[in-house]
């Protein structure tokens, strides 16, 4: 761990109380505040994977996941934006130098929603001189209210590709994000009228998924195991915050009855310890998987499948531990607007993400272990 890495992680720890104080408002307003967004930019969290030549730090990915887990101790929605947006910066770093010079102009810290879950709706692409004219609608644009650019997955004539477009070209459906949890991410629907995107601001989705040769190991590995980590990190961090809330609730019970030892219920400390250990194990697995991906460069298909499946299983372990912890907290979970209630909603909303579905990733890994081809729909 470098001094720069340690400083970023400590910055995230120090920021958690301020984010915790604004988390209820983010949940209510369906977006994090301008003040919280400024904290994220000023702390440099979105520069962690940004190329050095474009004003970034180009640090190993586990630094971003560690920062994300600490941010989750304050606000799960903000952690989701840090994990995803930091990963999105990595995606944009794969573009050519001219595109990067535009996106990261003067070394800017940028927030860029990237819609890779589908090719969108009503998407129309027309090749024109110098680029492509694109229009359409896309969903789940996390952080769109604070976005600088947007990257959409569009069917170009030579295949699916990311197309990077100025955020102010999009219309945001402000009433499209009424959801169970992760309300503060503001992951609203967006629409784009006919807009020309130059060739240099597009990148083949197949190339992104395949990995590539590069002098810096940060920009070699394939996207899908990495992107799975970007959604697992905020979930695992939120699980840790829920376990911490259980410990606090148990501590209040002990303090209310000083003659009692361990809340008189030997199962309570066992539940707390078990949940905390499982979340810690999941967090360790996340960082280990990230280090292995970083070291591997362009791993073989079976290793990609293993890393993705292992990360998903770690996230599911953390989710199950958090669910048990929230249940063990008793009536504290029932109070609407409490940090525990909000965390419970947030973590289950996170777990619905398609990259975190266990059967998809474990099936692909199992097929490869049996020398069978993985499902065509598997994103490895």
- CATH at 11: 1.10.540.10
Token pair listed for 195? 């807009």
More confident call, 254 vs 70: 70
- Choose one of 171, 204, 237: the last residue of a domain: 204
For residue 1, name the pLDDT band (cuts at 50, 70, 90). low
Tell me the CATH number at 198. Answer: 2.40.110.10
Q: Are residues 250 and 123 in the same domain?
A: no
Task: Report yes or no on 346 lying in a domain.
Answer: yes
CA 220 centroid distance within chain: 20
- In a shared domain, residues 140 and 271: no
> What is the pLDDT at residue 260?
52
The mean predicted confidence, pLDDT, of the chain is 93
* Strand runs labelled E in the chain: 114-115, 121-128, 131-141, 149-156, 159-166, 170-173, 188-198, 202-204
The answer to whether residues 148 and 185 belong to one domain is: yes
pLDDT higher than 70, residue 96: yes
Share of the chain above pLDDT 70, in %: 94
My answer on whether 229 and 277 are in the same domain is yes
Same domain flag for 62 and 140: no
Rounded Cα distance between 302 and 222, Å, is 13
Same domain, 103 and 130: no
Number of structural domains (the chain) is 3
Which of 60-69, 211-220, 301-310, 327-336 shows the lowest per-residue confidence on average (mean pLDDT)?
A: 327-336
Report the predicted TM-score, pTM, of the whole model to 2 decimal places: 0.95
Domain that holds residue 175: 114-204
Domain match, 95 and 141 both: no
Query: Rounded to an integer, what distance in angstroms lies between the CA atom of residue 33 and that of residue 350?
Result: 20
In this prediction, residues 372-380 reach a mean pLDDT of: 89
The verdict on 98 and 126 lying in the same domain is no
Question: Of 176, 204, 232, at which residue does a domain stop?
Answer: 204
Q: Does 97 have pLDDT greater than 90? A: yes
Give the angle subtended at the CA of 61 by the CAs of 15 and 187, to the nearest 5°: 60
- CATH number, domain with residue 269: 1.20.140.10
Residue 216 in any domain: the answer is: no
378 lies in some domain: no
- Do 166 and 191 lie in a common domain? yes
Q: Do 169 and 81 belong to one domain?
A: no
Q: What is the pLDDT of residues 344-362, one digit of tens each?
A: 999 999 999 999 999 999 9
Measured CA to CA, the distance from residue 192 to residue 168 in angstroms comes to 10
293 in a structural domain? yes
Verify that 132 and 225 share a domain, yes or no.
no
In a domain, 77, yes or no: yes
Count CA within 13 A, CB hemisphere, residue 189.
11
CB 219, CB 210: distance < 8 Å: no
Look at residue 210 and tell me if it is in a domain. no
- pLDDT grade, residue 262 (50/70/90)? very low
Mark whether 304 and 365 lie in a shared domain: yes
Question: How many Å apart are CA 112 and CA 30, to the nearest integer?
Answer: 18
Residue-wise pLDDT tens digits, 303-331:
999 999 999 999 999 999 999 999 888 77
* Domain annotation covers residue 377: no
Single out the residue in 204, 236, 254 at which a domain terminates: 204
Q: With respect to residue 215, please indicate whether it lies within any of the assigned structural domains.
A: no
């Amino acid at each position: 761990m470098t001094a720069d890495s340690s400083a970023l992680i400590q910055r995230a720890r120090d920021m958690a109380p301020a984010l915790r104080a604004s988390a209820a408002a983010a949940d209510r307003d369906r977006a994090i505040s301008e003040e919280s967004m400024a904290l994220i930019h000023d702390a440099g969290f979105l520069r962690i994977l940004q190329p050095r030549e474009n004003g970034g730090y180009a640090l190993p990915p586990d630094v971003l996941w560690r920062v994300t887990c600490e941010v989750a101790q304050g606000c799960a929605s903000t952690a989701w934006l840090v994990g995803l947006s930091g990963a999105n910066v990595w995606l944009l770093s794969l573009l050519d130098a001219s595109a990067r010079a535009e996106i990261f102009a003067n070394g800017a810290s940028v927030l860029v929603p990237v819609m890779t879950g589908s090719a969108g709706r009503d998407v129309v692409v027309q090749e024109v001189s110098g680029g492509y004219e694109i229009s359409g609608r896309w969903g789940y644009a996390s952080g769109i209210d604070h976005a600088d650019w947007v990257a959409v997955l569009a069917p170009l004539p030579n295949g699916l590709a990311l197309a990077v477009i100025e955020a102010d070209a999009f219309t945001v459906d402000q009433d499209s994000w009424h959801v169970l949890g992760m309300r503060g991410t503001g992951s609203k629907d967006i629409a784009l009228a006919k807009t020309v995107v130059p060739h240099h601001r597009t990148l083949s989705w197949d190339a992104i998924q395949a990995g590539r040769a590069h002098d810096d190991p940060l920009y070699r590995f394939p996207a899908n195991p990495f992107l799975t980590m970007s959604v697992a990190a905020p979930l695992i961090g939120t699980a840790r915050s829920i376990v911490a809330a259980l410990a606090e609730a148990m501590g209040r019970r002990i303090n209310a009855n000083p003659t009692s030892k361990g809340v008189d219920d030997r199962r309570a400390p066992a539940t707390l310890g078990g949940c905390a250990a499982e979340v810690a194990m999941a967090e360790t697995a996340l960082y280990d998987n990230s280090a292995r991906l970083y070291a591997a460069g362009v791993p073989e298909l079976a290793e990609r499948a293993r890393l993705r499946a292992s990360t998903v299983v770690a996230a599911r372990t953390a989710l199950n531990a958090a669910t048990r912890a929230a249940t063990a907290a008793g009536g504290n979970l029932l109070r609407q607007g409490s940090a525990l209630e909000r965390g419970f909603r947030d973590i289950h909303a996170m777990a619905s993400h398609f990259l975190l579905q266990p059967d998809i990733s474990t099936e692909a890994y199992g097929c490869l272990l049996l020398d069978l081809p993985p499902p065509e729909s598997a994103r490895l």
